[in-house]
Amino acid sequence: MTRWSVGDLAKASGLTVRTLHHYDEIGLVVASERTSSGHRRYTPDDVRRLYQVRSLRQLGLSLEEVRSALSRSDSLRPLFEAQLAALTAQAQQVEALRSRLTALLDGHTTESLLSTLEMMSVYESYFTSDQLGDMRSRAAAMGPEAVEALKASWLELVQQLRQHMADGTPPSDPRVVDLARQWDELGARFTGGDAAIQAAAQRSWSEHKTSISSQIGWPADDGLVDYVNQARAAR
């Protein structure tokens, strides 16, 4: 019957001698025989187990999970289902990161990339991953054209509100109150009307006015947000 030394098995399996020694030391794949001088000799059954270990490792299982899988007398299905769920979650995270990097690189200069990264850090400090995911999904469902149209509508509202401020129009004026209502309706298109998301947005604005205002194109200290809040209170 054929026997394999550590070196021969390493060459045949594509694993390193060090890996085979480690598997032997932890009892995962133990050489069944030893020569008189103490050198390991692997039998066909040992080799079969080694290839089972290698196949399970290629599926992403840890050494402990491999040991558990090989010791099970029942179905391996639950273990593989759990591994599939973990890999699916990782794939979703990778896809989300890929999408973010693609959007980040699209038409940005080095300076704007740094600014965008700063804003990403700000947003992630106030919004949960689920909230950010909901907002991104909502924007994706609307499509880029609809999103740009909403941004244009919002900028128009900003201009009208700032003009009222410049004219000294009281925030309780019905025209200003109506513009504040439109402001909230546009915001709800992105937040879904979620009170928690709206509260997080307000907190991020109050604590990072300068950074956020540089992204949206109007001064943080012009009093516009306070003006809108007063108009809301006058409804």
Q: What domains appear along the chain, each with residue ranges and CATH number?
A: 6-71 (1.10.1660.10), 107-233 (no CATH)
Write the DSSP string, 203-223.
HHHHH-HHHHHHHHTS-TTSS
177-205 pLDDT, tens digit each:
999 899 888 888 777 777 887 777 777 66
If you count them, how many residues does the chain have?
A: 235
The C-alpha atoms of residue 22 and residue 24 are separated, in whole angstroms, by 5
Model confidence band, residue 45 (pLDDT cutoffs 50, 70, 90): very high
- Runs of H (alpha helix) within the chain: 6-13, 17-25, 44-58, 63-71, 77-105, 110-126, 129-142, 144-167, 174-191, 195-207, 209-216, 224-233
Q: At 133, phi and psi to the nearest 5?
A: -65, -40
pTM above 0.85, yes or no: no
The per-residue pLDDT for 51 is 93
Q: What stretch of H or E contains 41?
A: strand 40-41
The per-residue pLDDT for 115 is 46
The C-alpha atoms of residue 221 and residue 210 are separated, in whole angstroms, by 8
Q: What sign has the CA pseudo-torsion 165, 166, 169, 175?
A: negative
Weakest-pLDDT range from 83-92, 99-108, 110-119: 110-119
